[in-house]
Structure 1
Amino acid sequence: MMKNYWPFGIFLLAMVVVGLIVLTLKVAISNPVELQGICQQNSQYIDENSNEIAQMRARLLKQYNITFEGSQNQNSKDFHQIFLRISDKTNDKITTNAKVEFFLTRPNTTKEDQILGDGELVNGLWQSRYFEVQKQGRYQSEAFVEIGADSICITKEYFVR
């Protein structure tokens, strides 16, 4: 009498499929999408107000140059502060009437998000408070800039080694 291993193979395949489903659910629950946003604004708020956000962004970028300062590649010992320059496009004058709030995050996770708080204007650059990064890899700095009634969130990615 010959043994037939098909039932055992089908059972193993079913167990692998169930295991992959459980793994997918575990990853999805531990990394909820709704927690990720830009400048601490959740994705639902951004979706609901996308037209207003786009209009404010266009108005601000038409009148101001808003750029992060510093190299994209950073050393973990030197990466401890974020700098932002805001200048008027008409006369290249540094803008002092802005309110800037800084955030530091890692792409694809919210576990290491840092709210750096309000920026301080020092010698023409808005700067964040000091922070430390514990791990190497990709980081994303975010700045929420408010000038008058308009606001904008800008981001820059850094690679820390």
Structure 2
Amino acid sequence: MKKNYWPLGIFVFLGVMVCMIIASVVIAIKHPTKEDDTYFSSKREVDSNINQIIKDQNRFSKEYQLYLGINKFPQVNGYAKLFPPYLAKAKFQTQQSLYLDAQKDNHLYVKALCKQPQNLSIFLYMEKINSKQEKVEIGKMHYENGYFASNAFSNLQKGRYKAIFEVSYQEDGKDKKIFFEREVFAI
């Protein structure tokens, strides 16, 4: 009589599937997802207001253009232009890499091309990408000689960072905020 191995194969297959499910649950528990707070709000709040956020970004981008310089005043060209978070990912391929010195004092400068740049208020944060560290609050950028300048900051760990600019402005008598981000490298 010939032995039939089908029942054994089915049990082995089911055992492997159960082990893979258990392994995926263990991995998910050890490595939870990080809440994306691109707009300093909860994901639910951003999802419910995303249409208004994008409209505000588009209106702001028509009137204002922001350019970034690291440890020097920015050149007004496409490589240094700041984009809102959704557009920043799409424009990443056309951007030149920007580098900070991890051990020395660094300054970030923002040039705002608009009629009255002094009416803007820019707050700067640095966030290490793919890290559990909290955002580092650099502080409010002060306006001088046509540029916004950050306070000096240093002692960064080497790696990729996201420079997040919180821009406050007034439109139709209402206070509004818009966010820009740019990837920088600390070497």
TM-score, scaled to structure 1: 0.74
Q: Shift in Å at residue 55 of structure 1?
A: 1.3
- 1:112 and 1:81 mapped to 2: Cα distance? 20
Match of residue 41 from structure 1: 41
Q: Is 1:85 the equivalent of 2:87?
A: no
Query: How many equivalent pairs are there?
Result: 147
Which segments of 5 or more consecutive residues in structure 2 lack a partner in the other structure?
1-7, 71-96
Q: Shift in Å at residue 153 of structure 1?
A: 0.7
The 5-angstrom pairing of residues 23-34 of structure 1 reads: 23-28=27-32, 31-33=33-35
Match of residue 3 from structure 1: none
- 1:50 and 1:137 mapped to 2: Cα distance? 30
For the Cα contact (< 8 Å) 1:80–1:133, is it kept in 2?
no
Off by >6 Å, runs of 4+ in structure 1: none
Q: Secondary structure at the match of 1:111?
A: coil
Q: Which amino acid aligns with 1:69?
A: G
Instruction: Provide the aligned C-alpha RMSD in A.
Output: 2.9
Q: Shift in Å at residue 131 of structure 1?
A: 2.5
The 5-angstrom pairing of residues 66-145 of structure 1 reads: 66-70=66-70, 72-78=98-104, 80-88=106-114, 95-145=117-167
Q: Pick the structure with more strand per residue.
A: 1
Match of residue 151 from structure 1: 177
For the Cα contact (< 8 Å) 1:98–1:146, is it kept in 2?
yes
- Classify 1:141/1:22 alpha carbon distance in 2 versus 1 (closer, same or farther; 3 Å): same
- 1:61 and 1:135 mapped to 2: Cα distance? 32
- 1:118 and 1:22 mapped to 2: Cα distance? 42
Q: Shift in Å at residue 16 of structure 1?
A: 7.0
- Classify 1:51/1:19 alpha carbon distance in 2 versus 1 (closer, same or farther; 3 Å): closer
Which structure exhibits the higher relative contact order, with contacts defined as CA atoms closer than 8 Å and separated by 6 or more residues?
A: 1
Q: Is 1:22 the equivalent of 2:22?
A: no
Which segments of 5 or more consecutive residues in structure 1 lack a partner in the other structure?
1-5
What is the percentage of aligned positions where both structures have the same residue?
Answer: 18
For the Cα contact (< 8 Å) 1:82–1:141, is it kept in 2?
no
TM-score, scaled to structure 2: 0.65
- Classify 1:155/1:104 alpha carbon distance in 2 versus 1 (closer, same or farther; 3 Å): same
